[in-house]
Amino acid sequence: MIDAAKRASARTINIIMPYYGYARQERKAAPREPISAKMLADVLTTVGATRVITIDLHAPAIQGFFNIPVDHLTALDLISDYLKEKNIKNPVVVSPDAGRASTAEKLANYLDSPFAIMIKKRPSHNESVITHVIGDVAGQTPIIIEDLIDTGSTIINVVEGLKERGAEDAYVCATHPLFSANALQRLDHPNIREVVVTDSITLPPNRPERFQVLSVAPMLAEATKIICQGGSISTLFKNAGV
Q: What is the set of active-site residues?
A: 120
The C-alpha atoms of residue 172 and residue 184 are separated, in whole angstroms, by 13
Of 58, 141, 146, 143, nearest to 109 by C-alpha is 143
| Best CA proximity match to 101, nearest among 86, 124, 120 | 120
Question: What residue type is assigned to position 36 of the chain?
Answer: S
* Residues 207, 209, 212, 215, CA torsion sign: positive
d(CA 145, CA 149): 10
Question: Within 10 Å of residue 217's Cβ, how many Cβ atoms?
Answer: 11
